[in-house]
Copies of this chain bind each other. A is one copy, B any other.
Amino acid sequence: MNNRLQQFQAQFDALRIDAFLVTDTVNKQYLTGFDGDGVILVTADQIYVITDSRYETALKRTDHDFKVIITRYYLEAAAQQIERQHITVLGFEDSIPFHEYDRIDELMSSDIVPMTNLIEQMRELKSNEEVQILEHACQMTVKGFKTLLPLIKPGVTERYLANRLDAIMRDLGAEKASFDTIVASGKRAALPHGAATAKQVQTGELITIDFGYYFEGYTSDMTRTVALGDPGEKLRQVYGIVQQAQQAIIDAVKPGVSGQQLDEVGRDLISAAGYGPYFNHGTGHGIGLDIHEGPALSTRSDDQMMASNVITAEPGIYLPDLGGIRIEDDILVTKTGHRILTAGPTDLISL
C-alpha cells in the first residue's frame, strides 16, 4: 500500500505537479484501501483521506499512514489544505464529473491540471500478490463453471443458469459478480451483450455464458459457449474458427506486442474465414480491481503489453437469427511470454 503511494508521489516532479486529487473510487481503493465517499489529496509528503462521519469509525480502526479529515465538504477541505500548504499546481483525474471539475476550478487557489489514467496505468502492472489473488479468482471461476455444466438441460431458463452460477460462485467464496452474468442461448446469442432472460434453453442451441467474480477485491472474466445437443454443421464450423482465433491471440501474447497487433491476429483469421463483419467488438482488456482496465486489445489500441499485465482474450462471431460464439480466457503477461490463468479446455462442450 505504502509502496504504491510512494511510487505515485515520486512521479510528481516529472508531471510538474505539487499535489494530486484522487476522486475515482477504484483508484482511492488502490492507493489507500479506502473506497468510501470522499476524496483523497496526495501532496509530496502527506496523504489526506477527506470523508464524512459515516466512515469515521471504520477509519479509526484501520492501521494506515494517512491523515483523516472528517467533513461533509470534501472539496472545500481539500482547498483549505491546498491554500495552507501553498500548493501551486494540483493534478486532478480527468474522469471526474464536469460539475465537480467546475467546483474545483472555483475553489482551488492553485492551478489545476487534468491528467489521464495516471493511477490506472500503475494498476496495469500487477504485483506478485495481486497476481496470486487474480489466479485464485480465475481458478475458482473455472471450478464454478464446471459445477454449472450438469445443470444445463433443455427447458431451464437462461436466468436460472445465471442465478445458479452466481450461487455456486458465492459458495466458492466469491464476494460478488463483477457484472450481470450473461447467458444467451440460440438466436439470442447473436447479441454479444444479451443479459439472461426467461427464455428456456433448447436442444440444438449454442449457449454463451460470460461471467466474472470478485475474490479479495480482484475480478476474473471468462466466457464459454457450450452446445446443447447438436447445433448443426454451420455453428460447429464457426465455433472452430473462434477457437482457432482465440488460441492464435493467446499464442501471440508477450511483452512488447501491442494491443492492436493482438487484435489483428484474431481478426485476420476471422476475416479470412469470411466472418469479419460478425466480430463487432474489441479483442480484450485488462482486469484487476475493475472489470475493464488497461491495456486494451483493439483495432485502435496503441497500448504495449508489459510483463505483469493481466488481460482477457475474447474474440467472437455473432450471426443474426442464427446464434453467436465467444470464448474468453484471462492471461498473465510474463517476462518470457504468457500464462493462462483460467486454464481449462476450450473445445466445444456438447451437453
Contacts and interface: CB of A to CB of B under 8 A. Distances in A.
A153 interface: no
B280 A56 contact: yes
A167 interface: yes
Interface stretch (A25-33, A78-86, A89-97): A89-97
Interface stretch (A187-195, A242-250, A331-339): A187-195
A223 to B, nearest CB: 14
A52 interface: yes
A234 interface: no
A6 interface: no
Contacts of A97: 94-98
A57 B191 contact: yes
A136 interface: no
Contacts of A143: none
Contacts of A92: 98
B280 A53 contact: yes
Interface of A: 36, 52-58, 72, 92-99, 101-102, 114, 116, 163, 166-167, 170, 175-176, 180, 190-194, 280-281, 300, 318, 320
A99 B167 CA distance: 38
A163 B172 CA distance: 12
A21 to B, nearest CB: 12
Total copies of the chain: 2
A280 B52 contact: yes
A303 B94 CA distance: 30
> Looking at A99, A116, A163, A281, which has the most chain B CB atoms within 10 Å of its CB?
A99
Contacts of A72: 300
A55 B280 CA distance: 9
Contacts of A114: 98-99, 102
Given A57-B318, A102-B114, 4 more contacts: A52-B280, A54-B192, A101-B101, A166-B166
A235 B36 CA distance: 27
Given A52-B280, A167-B163, A57 B320 contact: yes
A63 B307 CA distance: 48
A116 B52 CA distance: 24
A193 to B, nearest CB: 6
A175 B193 CA distance: 16
A145 to B, nearest CB: 19
